[in-house]
Structures are given as structure tokens and as C-alpha cells.
Structure 1
Amino acid sequence: MHHPLLVLLVPLGLLHLPSTLAWGTLGHRTVAYLASLYFTPGSTRFTNQLLHGQDISEAALFPDKIRYIPSFAYTKGWHYIDAQDDPPTTCGINITRDCALETGCVVSAIANHTERVSNASLPTWQRGQSLRFVLHFFGDVHQPLHTEAEDRGGNEYAVVFEGRATNLHSVWDTLIVNRHAGMGHEDEAIAAWTWAQRLAAAGRGGGGQNEDEDVCLRDAADCALEWAGEANAYVCSYVLARDVHGQDLAGEYYDGAVPIIDEMVYKAGRRLAAWINAIVEDVAFQDLERLDPEPLLQTQMK
């Protein structure tokens, strides 16, 4: 399920292509910023060095951008896992059935790239590249429609939002998120930082549960599969619980979706932080010291 090492020589212009995948750019930025609020000092140092000072929310957008480059089209399958279930009657993920052997899936990608981030034998730029994938895929695995095959994850499910025709996947990726957390902010990074702080202050997306929840740290593949199953359960309980074909989802449906999105973005950020913190606990001081300042991906990323 793992692809060989990625050696990227990425033209700067391609790093600014638009992104329309899980949680949109606002959601992915928020997951990364929220995680950073829970980093240990060592994790903050570690991620800053691997990212060479790049803003962590910008780094989290990288995997969506390179997928537009033909030579890296194979990474597209890493953003999701296609549950072959029967919503809203039955939801559930089966790793051998739903994670494509040829391309891998978000579960195998998380397992692969968390291992690479912690691998001190790899060059710094490769570990930094894998860190970018980790930042992104923790967001993807918590988006319900990135764990579902039905209607291509909702991409072929026609709906309306605020009077405009769209599809259910875009509603969950971008439209609800932007209306909920992006309104009134001209700068997306500021909107993401504000949302992250709000979620952190509320705890568990506003649910008020204990901040010190147990986070799965057993095995990256097992944990990612568990999280994907949790997100997939919402496909039956809410996302596709009733037929909304052609309906405008900006009213009652939006109101019910917002708490779910808050919860899943919060969990993605908290779990991402826990994994980075755990990786850094096992990193030798000498490994931190040897992280070199050479540009990642053979280019200066903004």
C-alpha cells in the first residue's frame, strides 16, 4: 500500500493551485493550527525545523496542491477510503475491502508517513515532506465523506446551498465550513487561527468533554482505521440519513452539520498533536540537532 520515496522538484507556481478537497483550505489550516496549540515545546521546535519555518497551516495544504501535477496523480488515492457499505441503512469500513491495494488509502498513507516523519535515517527534506502529508491526512480521515464510496463520496449527489447548485461533497468540504468559520474574515489564515482557538477553548468542538481524553497511539494504521470508522458513522447518522437530493442545505441541515464539523475538526487537531508529540518523545536530542536548514523540495516554499 505504500509508494516508494517521493522526490519532488515542484515548480513554485504549482504550489498555489486551488484546493477543493477535505475540509477545504480553511478546515485543513484549522486542523494544523489547532494541533500546534497542543504541541510540546519539543514538537514546536521539531515541526518548525522540518518545515523550515513555513507556516504550519500552509504546509497542511501541500498534498492537495501536488495532486494536480501529473507525475504525482498517484497520491490522489491517499486522501480517502471508499467504504463499500449501504448508507443510511449500514455504515462501516473494512480495510481489506475498502483500501485499494494498488493506490493505498488515507489509512495506509497515515501509517506510512507517520513512520517516515519519525525515521531519523531519512534526509530532513523527506521527513518534512512526509510531515506535510501527515498534517493533511489527519484532516482527511475525519471528514465523513472521505470515508464513503456512495455517489463518489457525495461528489455525484446534487444539492443546493444558499440558492446555488452544487454537490454534497462540496457542501461538507467547503461551503458549510466557510459559512461557519470564514464569514467576516478577509484572511483565511486568520479565520483558521480564530476557529482553532475557539475550538481549543471550548474543548472537543464545544461538547465540553475532558480535554485529557485518551488518544489512540497504539499503531498508526489501527488508529487511522478507528478514526475513519468514527467519521463514517456520521454518513448514516446524519450526512445521508435522509434524502436531500436537490434540496437547499443552508438551513436546518446546515444547523445540524455544524456541531459535527466542529467535533471532527477538533478531534483531528487534538489527535494530530498527540501523534506529533509522541513521535518527538522518541526523537533523540542529537536527531533534532542534526536537522539541517537545506530547502525542502529543492525550492523555497511560501
Structure 2
Amino acid sequence: MHSTIFALCLSTILSFLPPTAAWGSLGHRTVAYLASTYFTPESTRFTNRLLNGQDISEAALFPDKVRHMPQFAYSRGWHYIDAQDSPPQQCGINMTRDCVINTGCVVSAIANHTGRVADPSLPHYLRGQSLRFMLHFFGDVHQPLHTEAEDRGGNEYEVAFDGRRTNLHSVWDTLIPHKYAGTGHDDEFVAAWLWAQRLSGDDDVDDDETRLEGECLHDAADCALSWAREANSYVCSHVLAHDVHGQDLGGEYYQGAIPVVNEMVRKAGRRLAAWINFISANYTTTTDDAGDLDVNHAIQIQ
């Protein structure tokens, strides 16, 4: 019961906090909604249970909303991995060099929270919290500038976008996704859902059982590292391929970025779904033995 009260109080507090960026809230909502289109029935029940019925796209924003709260300060370094490379001449991630040992990084955070979501010995609210981190970090690791140290991931790289002065990180986090998928929609939930439907519809395979074949599932840390390296490669091939300092990126640069953003958001959603399907397939619900409310049934691994 105490864990349920804690979760409800935290949800109330978070409802008054403004959303912050990292793929922007539109991008993170889309990754979560897209993943849900690939869910098995077990995954749908599993996520609804751990999230206490919260909208999955809203749950995906949790880590950004709490990162500046003192009690979650430890999580700030989990949103990125700072590749100490030399774009555009050379891009690449070295785990021992780029993932800070004391604070961790997005790769280690994905490994940690994926394991916690799958851990039946953890209390319901902790697994739910880790699921929220998992939903978010699968998005972060696919954002190229969340895998790059140059100019603090582009935060100190001054540019313009459609006449508005900003920085390169914000262009990739928020401005490109909103211009592409958010224009004409007053409701961000609707914009994210429609974007997710378009990306899901791009699949060539109609059979649900084969749609996620080939996704990396052998080890969460190895998989996350490979995804980070894939995203980081775009720093050299497009994000910082040319010196765009001070330029307006709302034209040709934006057009070239759209396929990258679509591909990375699509892969983030597919890979998130593959992992949640994998985890939920190994679980069955049992009678309530955790002292929580009815929706908080304990889960045991088979």
C-alpha cells in the first residue's frame, strides 16, 4: 500500500512539472506509442499493470520530468553517452572511455533498468519506475546528439531554425520532430500517435510474429552499445558533416535530417517493443502478495 501511495503522490507532483526535451516530448511519446503497436497481448497487460494504467507516452516522459529534482539527481547522466571522438572526421563510441563510471550513461542505464523490469524480486513500484526509465532511454540512445560530447552534445553549437536562434541539440531534440510531425496538430498525443502509425505502417511484413525478427535481444548492454554506435555514426554523416555554425537549418539541412529522424525513432520503437515482448513472455500474474491495490499484482518469472 505504501508503494501505491508513493506512486500516486509522485504522479500528482509530476503533473504540475513542465515537460523537458530529449527527442522532445513528441519524439518520446512517438517511440512509446510505436512500441505499443508491436506489443503482444501479454506486453500490453504487463505494461498497463506496471504503469498503473498510465498512458504509455506520458510514462515515457518521467525521466526528463524528474531529472532536476534533488531526489533524482543521480539519474542526470543516464540520458546520454559522451563520445570523445572527432566529428566529422571520425565518429565512434568507446565504452570504457565514454561512459562515466561513477554516474553511468545511457548504455549502462538501459542495461540496468531492463534487468530491473524483469526482476520479480523487486516491488511493483520500483519495476514500474524502471519501466518508465526504460521507455525513455530507448529513445535517448537513438538520438545522435545524445551519443556525442562535441559542444556538449550540440548544446553550445549556435544555429538558427526557421528564423529562430537556438542550438543544434534543440534542433534535433525538438524542432525537427515538431516541424515534421507536429505541425497542424494542437494535441501532442494525437500528433505522436499519428506519427507512430505512419512509422508502423512502413513495415513490409504483416505477420505480427515476424515483424520484430532480427532485433538484438541477447544482452541489453551489448545491444544498447550497438544502438548508440549506430546513432553516433549519423553525427559524422549528417549532424556535423558540415560546419553549420550560425546557419539556418530549417531548409535543406532539415530535409536531409527527416529520414534520419524517422529511421531512429522507428528503430527505437521496434527495439523497445522487442525487449518488452521478450520480458513479458517470461511472466505470469499471480495472486496479490505485495500488499498493493488490485492493479498491482505481483509478477513471478517462470
Partners of 1:289 and 1:262 lie apart in 2 by 43
Counterpart position of 1:77: 77
Partners of 2:149 and 2:287 lie apart in 1 by 41
Counterpart position of 2:3: none
Counterpart position of 1:262: 262
Using structure 2 for the length normalisation, give the TM-score.
Answer: 0.90
Question: Match for 1:104: what amino acid?
Answer: G
Give how far 1:212 is off: 4.3
1:137 to 2:137 alignment:
yes
Partners of 2:144 and 2:294 lie apart in 1 by 38
Counterpart position of 1:240: 240
Counterpart position of 1:30: 30
2:84 touches 2:97 (CA, 8 Å); kept in 1? yes
1:87 to 2:87 alignment:
yes
Instruction: Deviation per CA, 1:94-144: give whole Å up to 9, x if none.
Output: 000000011000000000001110111111111000000000000000000
Counterpart position of 1:278: 278
CA gap of 1:288–1:144, structure 2 versus 1, over 3 A, is farther
Partners of 2:287 and 2:86 lie apart in 1 by 47
Question: Match for 2:203: what amino acid?
Answer: G
Aligned positions, number: 286
Partners of 2:15 and 2:276 lie apart in 1 by 24
Give how far 1:17 is off: 2.3
Q: Which runs of 5+ in 2 are unaligned?
A: 1-5, 205-209, 297-302
Partners of 1:11 and 1:189 lie apart in 2 by 18
Using structure 1 for the length normalisation, give the TM-score.
Answer: 0.90
Instruction: Deviation per CA, 1:24-43: give whole Å up to 9, x if none.
Output: 00000000000000000000
* Superposition map of 1:164-179 within 5 A: 164-179=164-179
Partners of 1:148 and 1:287 lie apart in 2 by 46
Question: Match for 2:243: what amino acid?
Answer: D
CA gap of 1:47–1:292, structure 2 versus 1, over 3 A, is farther
2:79 touches 2:137 (CA, 8 Å); kept in 1? yes
Q: What SS does the aligned partner of 1:83 have?
A: coil
Question: Match for 2:227: what amino acid?
Answer: W
Counterpart position of 2:230: 230
Partners of 1:140 and 1:197 lie apart in 2 by 20
Partners of 1:293 and 1:238 lie apart in 2 by 49
Question: Match for 2:130: what amino acid?
Answer: S
1:52 touches 1:295 (CA, 8 Å); kept in 2? yes
1:65 to 2:62 alignment:
no
Partners of 1:264 and 1:293 lie apart in 2 by 38
Counterpart position of 1:47: 47
CA gap of 1:289–1:53, structure 2 versus 1, over 3 A, is farther
Counterpart position of 2:111: 111
Question: Match for 1:33: what amino acid?
Answer: Y
Instruction: Deviation per CA, 1:22-71: give whole Å up to 9, x if none.
Output: 21000000000000000000000000000010000000000000012122
2:116 touches 2:122 (CA, 8 Å); kept in 1? yes
Counterpart position of 1:201: 201
Question: Match for 2:109: what amino acid?
Answer: A
1:160 touches 1:246 (CA, 8 Å); kept in 2? yes
CA gap of 1:8–1:150, structure 2 versus 1, over 3 A, is farther
1:49 touches 1:291 (CA, 8 Å); kept in 2? no
Q: Which runs of 5+ in 1 are unaligned?
A: 1-5, 205-209, 297-302
CA gap of 1:40–1:246, structure 2 versus 1, over 3 A, is same
Partners of 1:232 and 1:119 lie apart in 2 by 30
RMSD of aligned Cα (Å): 2.2
* Superposition map of 1:205-224 within 5 A: 211-224=211-224
Give how far 1:20 is off: 3.1
1:145 touches 1:153 (CA, 8 Å); kept in 2? yes
Percent of pairs identical after alignment?
Answer: 69
